[in-house]
């Protein structure tokens, strides 16, 4: 079992819809969770982080964390074609941990 | 100037050659990392460093070495390059407990 698993996709949604990206992790002691967006040919860019159970909203993005289920998700509301990218989930064992473990990413396409 | 600068951006080298990838950052962070990215395999950690005197192996360190010359500089070396080291290499930096800022990447091809 991989430490961090994401739906491989690709995921396709129409413009204006909600895109839902999911991630599960195996280390129950994990405490820090991150979402990165990576456009084709570019480097990953941090877009959200969450440390506590529940929801965290930032503009059109909402990160959701459920530590009991070892599950973290990213919702993108009012999806735009510019949101088309690969989204990487990353997990750190604790807030002082030296490294993040990444999932393989989910590729999202938003169709006009 | 970019917060995290990687050089070169692209490199083609021959099997058996030694090659160094360089990374410098202006963020003032102590923590620096080297990852490689392969299609379908996500980002895999090669080495990471908490400060100049602290170097740690990641999950795929074999065939690689690193040097932390200063807080702002962290270099990755392939002592004898082989074709399966062809990949996209990213340097990253972070403050304690937070997410990463990545460099633009180095696309390395070993022929």
> CB distance A42–B104 less than 8 Å?
yes
> CB distance A46–B40 less than 8 Å?
no
Interface test with B, best of A43, A61, A96 (most B CBs within 10 A): A43
Q: What token pair was written down for B36?
A: 């490689």
**pLDDT per residue rounded down to tens, chain B (111 residues):** 679 999 999 999 999 999 999 999 999 999 999 999 998 778 999 999 998 999 999 999 999 999 999 999 999 999 999 999 999 999 999 987 789 999 999 999 999
Q: Which long-range contacts (CB under 8 A, 24 or more apart) does A24-27 make?
A: A24/A69, A24/A70, A24/A71, A24/A72, A25/A70, A25/A72, A25/A89, A25/A91, A25/A101, A26/A1, A26/A2, A26/A70, A27/A3, A27/A91, A27/A93
Q: CA-to-CA distance for A36 and A86, rounded, in angstroms?
A: 8
DSSP H stretches of helix in chain B: none
Please state, for a pLDDT cut of 90, what percent of chain B lies above it. 87
């Amino acid at each position: 079992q991989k430490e961090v698993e994401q739906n491989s996709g690709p995921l396709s949604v129409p413009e204006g819809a909600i895109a839902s990206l999911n991630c599960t992790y195996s280390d129950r002691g994990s405490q820090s969770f991150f979402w990165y967006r990576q456009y084709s040919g570019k480097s990953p860019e941090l877009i959200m982080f969450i440390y506590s159970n529940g929801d965290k909203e930032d503009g059109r993005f909402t990160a959701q964390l459920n530590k009991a289920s070892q599950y973290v998700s990213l919702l993108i509301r009012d999806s735009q074609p510019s949101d088309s990218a690969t989204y990487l989930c990353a997990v750190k064992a604790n807030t002082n941990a030296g490294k993040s473990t990444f999932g393989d990413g989910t590729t999202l396409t938003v169709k006009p | 100037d970019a917060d995290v600068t990687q050089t070169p951006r692209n490199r083609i080298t021959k099997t058996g050659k030694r090659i160094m990838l360089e990374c410098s950052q202006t963020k003032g962070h102590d923590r620096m990392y080297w990852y490689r990215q392969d299609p379908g395999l996500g980002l895999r950690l090669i080495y990471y460093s908490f400060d100049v005197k602290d170097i740690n192996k990641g999950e795929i360190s074999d065939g690689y070495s690193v040097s932390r010359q200063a807080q702002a500089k962290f270099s990755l070396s392939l002592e004898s390059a082989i074709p399966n080291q062809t990949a996209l290499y990213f340097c990253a930096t972070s403050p304690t407990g937070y997410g990463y800022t990545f460099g633009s990447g180095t696309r390395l091809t070993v022929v």
